[in-house]
C-alpha cells in the first residue's frame, strides 16, 4: 500500500460515462419548468465541449441546439444518455440505448423500488434491459451528475467552481446545500458529482473507485443513506483511502432516521455504530454532523493528514483559547506540551502578561502587529512535540476592528502563514471571527490552501480527521511493511485460515443431526485452536460424577444439562452454579436430570457439563456474525448490564489486523475498566488481542458457521477464560426439517 500516488490506476469503466465525449438528453425541452430544459441549459451555458444531442420528436431545436427525434437518428453513438422522461418509458428507452451503443444512462425518474413492489418490478425490468444492452445505469431516482473539469453540468447549478472535491450524494438537497456553502465560502470547488439514487446498477463503490482514479479529485465526499453492497464498498474504500481522503456522512444514526431514509431511497440500513466502525477500519473519515461535511472535506483535501494528535493553539483572547482547549480535549486530541525552549522563544516576542503555556494567549501582544501571530505559529510548529497548529481569534479582522492601517501587516502575516503551511509537516488550521466577512488576509489564506473556518467547532473537527487519517495511514503502511514471511500472520491478511480436524468433525456431526453445536462441542472447537476455555467434562453417570468431584476437590463448579433438545437450559432447570463438594454435586446432578426430564420428557440428554466456576475478573463479550450488507463482522464489548444499556461495543470487518484488534479494545468508552479501576489490576489486553484475532479466523476456517458468541469471556491480569460459547450453523448447511428455529434466538446462560 503506497501513499505516494495521488490517485489509483485507471480501471473503472465509468470514465467514459462520467467524463463523456458526447451526451444525449432524452426528453430535452424548451419549457423552463422541465428537467430536460435545465439539463440543456447546464450543457449550453456551462460550455461543455463534447457533442450535445437533444432528443425530442416534437422539437426542431432545444436552446438553439438541433434536436433529434430518436436516439436511432443520431449521427454518432452518445457516450452518455440523460433520460428525463417518466419511469414507465425507461425500459423501452434503455432497449434503444443498448441498440445504439450508449455506454451509460442517467435515469432521473422516481417511481421505482422506493415506492413499493410494483416499482421494484419496474426497476428489475429496467435493469435487465440495461444489462442486455450493455448500458450502465446511474439512478434511477437521482438528481443527476456534473463534472466541472469537463464543463459538464447536467444539474444547471449556478456559481459552481471547478475544484478538487468529488461528491456522491444520495440526497439532491444535500448537494445543493454543499454547493451553496461552497459558493458562500468563495474558494472551495468541486470536481465530479454523482447522485446514485436507488443504485439499481452502479453503486457507491463504483463511484468511489472512479473518484479514486480521477486525477481532478483530491478528496471523495459521500452522503450515504444506505449501501447496496457494503462489503465491496469497504474494499474500494481501503484502496481509495490509501491514496486520497474519503469523507462519509452516513445518515440514519437513529432508528427514526433509518425509517425515514428507507422511505426515501428504499435503502436497507444496518446498525449505525457498526457501519461507522467498519468505515473507519477501511480508512474512511466519518463525520457525524452534516455541517461538518464541507469543512472536513476542504481540510482533508488541502492537507491530507496530521502526523499526530498534539495540537498547539495560538489565541489572541482567553475565551477562545479555552473553547479550543475544551473542544480539542473532548474530541480526543491533545494539547501539545511546549518545550521550554519554545516557551522562551514565545516569551521573547510577546508581552509579559501573555501565557506561553498551550493554549498560548498573546494577550494583546498582536493588537498593533497582527503578523506576530504568524511568528508565534512558526515558533510552535518548530517544536518537535507539535503535530498541528490551530490559530483562533480575530486574525484578518484587526484591520476592521482596530485600524485600517493594519491591513498591510495582516497581509504580511497571511503570507508568513502560507509560507509556514508549505514548509512544515504540521497542518496549519485557522479559525477567525472574521471568516464570514472575508477580509483580504483571510482571502489570501484560502486562495493558497490554508483552511479558514467560521467556527472553532469545525476547525477542531478538521484537526480530528487529519490526525485520524494520519494514524490510519501510518498503520496501513506499517502493516504493509510487515507483510513478509516470519511476521505475525495477522499483520498480513492474505493467508487463509485452515480448519482443524476435530472442529470439522464436530460440525459434520451436528449437521448430520440437523442442529447447531452443543456448548461442549463449541468449546472443543475453540480449544482445538488454542483458545482458552475452562476445563470441563460431561458426566452422565454417578461414577463419572464421583470421579469428577474427586479431581475438582473443593473447587466451586457450574453444572449445566447437555441436550440437543434443550436450548434454554435455565428455563429447563438445567443449570446449577457455585456447587461445592461431592454431596452437593450429586444432589445438583439429580436435580438437573429430574428437571430436564420434567421439562421435556422426550429430550435426548447427553449428560451434565461440569466446569470450575471462573474466578472473578472483567467480563467481556465477543461475537462473530454475517451482516447482510457487510459480510463477516466481529464484535467486542465489555460484559454486564450497564454496557448492554449503554451499547458500548466495537465492530470490525473480518479479516482482522492486529491494529484492528487493538483499536477495537481501545475505542470502548469504558476501556479504562480493562486497565484496572478501584485498585483492581489491569487485564491482559494482549491475550484479548490474540483471542480476537483467532476468533476472527473461524468463519473463514469453518464456512458453516453462521454466528458465534463467547459470552462471557472473563479477562484476568494473566490471560482469560471463555466461560460460555455458542456456535450456530447456517440453516442451508443443516437438514432444515429437523432444524429448530429457536436455536437462532437461544440465550446463553448467565454465569460466573
- Rounded Cα distance between 254 and 277, Å, is 16
User: Min. distance of Cβ 342 from a copy of itself in angstroms?
Assistant: 17
Q: Is beta strand 152-153 parallel, antiparallel or unpaired with respect to 388-393? A: unpaired
User: For the chain, how are helix, strand and coil distributed in percent, rounded to 5?
Assistant: 40, 20, 40
Residues 565-624 that bind a copy of itself (CB under 8 A): none
Candidate ranges 91-99, 392-400, 528-536, 542-550; the one touching a copy of itself (CB under 8 A): 392-400
Q: Which of 425, 542, 646, 744 binds a copy of itself (CB under 8 A)?
A: 646
User: Min. distance of Cβ 619 from a copy of itself in angstroms?
Assistant: 11
C-alpha cell at 602: 422426550
Q: Does 265 bind a copy of itself (CB under 8 A)?
A: yes
Q: Does 643 bind a copy of itself (CB under 8 A)?
A: yes
- Residue 700 · residue 497 · CB < 8 Å: yes
Cβ closest to a copy of itself, residue 69 vs residue 750: 750
Residues 452-511 that bind a copy of itself (CB under 8 A): 455-457
User: Min. distance of Cβ 590 from a copy of itself in angstroms?
Assistant: 23
Cβ closest to a copy of itself, residue 142 vs residue 305: 142
User: Min. distance of Cβ 430 from a copy of itself in angstroms?
Assistant: 14
Candidate ranges 397-405, 508-516, 721-729, 735-743; the one touching a copy of itself (CB under 8 A): 397-405
Dihedral of alpha carbons 544, 549, 552, 555, sign: positive
Cβ closest to a copy of itself, residue 562 vs residue 668: 668
Cβ closest to a copy of itself, residue 330 vs residue 600: 330
Cβ closest to a copy of itself, residue 407 vs residue 455: 455
Spell out the residues 6+ positions from residue 601 whose beta carbon is closer than 8 angstroms to its own: none
Q: State whether residue 285 is helix, strand or coil.
A: strand
User: Min. distance of Cβ 670 from a copy of itself in angstroms?
Assistant: 5
Nearest to 665 by CA among 707, 620, 624, 708: 620
Q: Does 395 bind a copy of itself (CB under 8 A)?
A: no
Q: Which of 29, 142, 153, 169 binds a copy of itself (CB under 8 A)?
A: 169
Candidate ranges 326-334, 379-387, 408-416, 422-430; the one touching a copy of itself (CB under 8 A): 326-334
Spell out the residues 6+ positions from residue 31 whose beta carbon is closer than 8 angstroms to its own: 37
Cβ closest to a copy of itself, residue 37 vs residue 589: 37
Q: Does 170 bind a copy of itself (CB under 8 A)?
A: yes
Q: Which of 433, 507, 557, 572 binds a copy of itself (CB under 8 A)?
A: 433
Q: Which of 76, 344, 402, 408 binds a copy of itself (CB under 8 A)?
A: 402
The conformation of residue 159, written as its DSSP 8-state character, comes to T
Q: Does 554 bind a copy of itself (CB under 8 A)?
A: no
C-alpha cell at 648: 458500548
Residues 340-369 that bind a copy of itself (CB under 8 A): 353, 355, 357, 359, 361, 363, 368
Q: Which of 335, 477, 483, 580 binds a copy of itself (CB under 8 A)?
A: 335
Q: Does 665 bind a copy of itself (CB under 8 A)?
A: no
Phi, psi dihedral angles at 358 (to 5 degrees) = -70, 130
User: Min. distance of Cβ 645 from a copy of itself in angstroms?
Assistant: 5
Cβ closest to a copy of itself, residue 360 vs residue 609: 360
Q: Does 535 bind a copy of itself (CB under 8 A)?
A: no
- Rounded Cα distance between 140 and 144, Å, is 9
Nearest to 704 by CA among 529, 556, 503, 539: 503
User: Min. distance of Cβ 255 from a copy of itself in angstroms?
Assistant: 8
Nearest 5 degrees, angle CA 270-CA 275-CA 276? Answer: 145
Candidate ranges 73-81, 202-210, 393-401, 497-505; the one touching a copy of itself (CB under 8 A): 393-401
Q: Does 317 bind a copy of itself (CB under 8 A)?
A: yes
- Helix locations, 272-317, DSSP H: 272-281, 293-303
- Residue 396 · residue 444 · CB < 8 Å: no
> How crowded is residue 488: how many other Cβ atoms within 10 Å of its Cβ?
12
Candidate ranges 22-30, 70-78, 428-436, 549-557; the one touching a copy of itself (CB under 8 A): 428-436
**Count of residues interacting with a copy of itself (CB under 8 A):** 85
Cβ closest to a copy of itself, residue 53 vs residue 398: 398
C-alpha cell at 177: 446545500
Q: Which of 9, 32, 57, 550 binds a copy of itself (CB under 8 A)?
A: 32
- Rounded Cα distance between 213 and 9, Å, is 6
C-alpha cell at 560: 449445566
Q: State whether residue 463 is helix, strand or coil.
A: helix
Q: State whether residue 452 is helix, strand or coil.
A: strand
Q: Does 688 bind a copy of itself (CB under 8 A)?
A: no
Per-residue binding string, a copy of itself, 276-295, x by CB under 8 A, is -------------xxx----
Q: State whether residue 91 is helix, strand or coil.
A: helix
Q: Which of 191, 251, 342, 663 binds a copy of itself (CB under 8 A)?
A: 251
Q: Which of 325, 389, 608, 723 binds a copy of itself (CB under 8 A)?
A: 325
Nearest to 454 by CA among 291, 576, 313, 311: 291
C-alpha cell at 206: 463504483
- Helix locations, 150-254, DSSP H: 172-185, 204-213, 230-241
The reply to whether omega before 712 is within 30° of 0 (cis) is yes
Residues 70-129 that bind a copy of itself (CB under 8 A): 110-111, 115
List the end-to-end C-alpha distance of the chain, in Å, as a whole number.
Answer: 45
- Residue 138 · residue 167 · CB < 8 Å: no
Q: Which of 282, 394, 635, 683 binds a copy of itself (CB under 8 A)?
A: 394
Cβ closest to a copy of itself, residue 257 vs residue 532: 257
Q: State whether residue 152 is helix, strand or coil.
A: strand
C-alpha cell at 498: 485452515
Q: Does 678 bind a copy of itself (CB under 8 A)?
A: yes
Q: Does 319 bind a copy of itself (CB under 8 A)?
A: yes
Candidate ranges 489-497, 506-514, 670-678, 726-734; the one touching a copy of itself (CB under 8 A): 670-678
Strand partners, 653: 633
Phi, psi dihedral angles at 320 (to 5 degrees) = -75, -25
Rg (CA), the chain: 31
- Residue 715 · residue 490 · CB < 8 Å: no
Q: Which of 91, 172, 385, 631 binds a copy of itself (CB under 8 A)?
A: 172
Cβ closest to a copy of itself, residue 19 vs residue 148: 148
The conformation of residue 45, written as its DSSP 8-state character, comes to H
Amino acid at each position: 500500500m503506497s501513499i505516494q500516488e495521488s490517485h489509483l490506476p485507471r480501471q473503472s469503466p465509468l470514465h467514459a460515462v462520467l467524463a463523456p465525449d458526447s451526451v444525449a438528453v432524452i426528453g430535452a425541452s424548451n419549457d423552463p419548468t422541465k428537467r430536460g430544459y435545465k439539463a440543456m441549459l447546464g450543457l449550453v451555458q456551462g460550455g461543455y465541449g463534447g457533442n450535445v444531442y437533444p432528443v425530442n420528436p416534437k422539437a426542431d431545436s432545444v436552446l438553439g441546439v438541433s434536436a433529434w427525434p430518436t436516439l436511432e437518428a443520431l449521427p454518432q453513438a452518445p457516450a452518455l444518455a440523460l433520460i428525463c422522461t417518466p419511469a414507465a418509458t425507461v425500459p423501452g428507452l434503455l432497449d434503444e440505448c443498448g441498440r445504439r451503443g450508449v455506454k451509460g444512462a442517467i435515469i432521473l425518474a422516481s417511481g421505482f423500488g422506493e415506492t413499493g413492489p410494483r416499482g421494484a418490478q419496474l426497476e428489475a425490468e429496467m435493469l435487465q434491459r440495461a444489462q442486455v444492452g450493455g448500458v450502465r445505469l446511474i439512478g434511477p431516482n437521482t438528481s443527476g451528475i456534473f463534472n466541472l473539469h469537463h464543463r459538464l453540468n447536467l444539474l444547471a447549478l449556478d456559481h459552481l467552481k471547478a475544484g478538487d472535491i468529488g461528491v456522491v450524494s444520495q440526497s439532491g438537497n444535500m448537494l445543493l446545500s454543499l454547493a451553496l456553502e461552497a459558493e458562500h465560502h468563495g474558494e472551495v470547488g468541486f470536481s465530479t458529482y454523482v447522485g446514485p439514487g436507488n443504485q439499481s446498477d452502479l453503486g457507491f463503490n463504483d463511484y468511489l473507485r472512479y473518484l479514486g482514479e480521477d486525477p481532478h479529485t483530491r478528496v471523495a465526499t459521500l452522503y450515504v443513506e444506505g449501501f447496496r453492497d457494503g462489503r465491496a464498498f469497504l474494499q474500494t474504500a481501503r484502496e481509495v483511502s490509501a491514496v486520497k481522503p474519503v469523507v462519509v456522512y452516513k445518515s440514519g444514526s437513529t432508528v427514526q432516521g433509518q425509517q425515514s431514509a428507507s422511505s426515501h431511497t428504499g435503502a436497507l440500513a444496518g446498525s449505525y455504530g457498526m457501519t461507522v466502525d467498519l468505515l473507519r477500519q477501511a480508512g474512511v473519515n466519518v463525520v457525524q454532523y452534516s455541517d461538518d461535511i464541507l469543512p472536513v472535506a476542504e481540510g482533508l483535501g488541502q492537507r491530507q493528514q496530521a502526523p499526530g494528535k498534539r495540537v498547539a493553539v495560538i489565541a489572541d483572547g482567553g475565551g477562545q483559547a479555552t473553547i479550543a482547549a475544551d473542544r480539542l480535549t473532548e474530541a480526543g486530541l491533545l494539547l501539545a506540551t511546549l518545550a521550554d525552549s519554545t516557551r522562551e522563544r514565545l516569551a521573547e516576542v510577546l508581552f509579559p502578561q501573555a501565557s506561553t503555556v498551550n493554549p498560548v494567549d498573546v494577550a494583546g501582544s498582536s493588537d498593533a502587529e497582527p503578523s506576530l501571530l504568524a511568528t508565534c505559529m512558526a515558533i510552535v510548529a518548530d517544536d518537535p512535540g507539535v503535530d498541528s497548529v490551530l490559530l483562533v481569534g480575530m486574525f484578518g479582522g484587526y484591520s476592521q476592528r482596530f485600524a485600517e492601517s493594519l491591513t498591510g501587516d495582516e497581509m504580511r502575516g497571511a503570507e508568513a502563514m502560507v509560507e509556514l503551511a508549505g514548509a512544515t509537516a504540521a497542518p496549519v488550521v485557522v479559525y477567525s471571527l472574521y471568516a464570514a466577512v472575508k477580509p483580504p488576509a483571510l482571502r489570501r489564506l484560502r486562495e493558497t490552501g490554508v483552511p479558514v473556518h467560521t467556527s472553532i467547532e469545525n476547525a477542531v473537527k478538521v484537526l480530528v480527521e487529519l490526525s485520524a487519517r494520519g494514524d490510519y495511514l501510518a498503520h496501513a503502511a506499517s502493516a504493509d511493511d510487515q507483510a513478509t514471511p516470519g511476521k505475525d500472520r495477522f499483520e498480513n491478511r492474505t493467508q487463509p485460515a485452515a480448519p482443524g480436524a476435530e472442529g470439522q468433525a464436530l460440525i459434520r456431526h451436528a449437521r448430520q443431526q440437523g442442529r447447531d453445536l452443543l456448548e461442549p462441542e463449541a468449546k472443543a472447537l475453540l480449544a482445538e485452536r488454542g483458545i482458552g476455555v475452562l476445563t470441563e467434562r460431561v458426566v452422565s453417570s454417578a461414577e463419572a460424577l464421583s470421579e469428577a468431584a474427586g479431581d475438582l476437590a473443593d473447587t466451586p463448579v457450574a453444572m449445566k444439562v447437555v441436550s440437543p433438545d434443550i436450548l434454554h437450559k435455565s428455563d429447563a432447570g438445567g443449570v446449577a452454579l457455585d456447587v461445592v463438594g461431592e454431596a452437593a454435586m450429586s444432589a445438583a446432578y439429580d436435580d438437573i436430570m429430574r428437571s430436564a426430564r420434567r421439562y421435556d420428557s422426550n429430550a435426548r440428554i447427553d449428560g451434565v457439563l461440569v466446569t470450575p466456576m471462573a474466578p472473578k475478573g472483567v467480563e467481556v463479550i465477543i461475537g462473530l456474525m454475517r451482516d447482510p450488507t457487510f459480510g463477516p463482522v466481529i464484535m467486542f464489548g465489555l460484559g454486564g448490564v450497564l454496557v448492554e444499556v449503554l451499547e458500548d461495543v466495537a465492530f470490525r470487518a473480518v479479516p482482522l489486523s492486529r491494529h484492528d484488534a487493538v483499536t477495537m479494545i481501545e475505542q470502548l468508552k469504558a476501556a479504562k475498566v480493562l486497565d484496572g479501576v478501584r485498585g483492581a489490576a489491569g487485564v491482559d489486553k494482549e491475550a484479548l488481542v490474540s483471542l480476537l484475532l483467532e476468533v476472527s479466523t473461524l468463519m473463514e476456517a469453518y464456512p458453516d458457521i453462521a454466528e458465534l458468541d463467547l459470552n462471557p469471556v472473563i479477562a484476568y491480569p494473566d490471560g482469560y477464560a471463555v466461560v460460555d460459547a455458542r456456535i450456530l450453523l447456517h440453516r442451508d448447511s443443516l437438514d432444515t426439517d429437523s432444524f429448530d428455529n429457536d436455536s437462532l434466538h437461544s440465550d446463553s446462560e448467565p454465569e460466573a
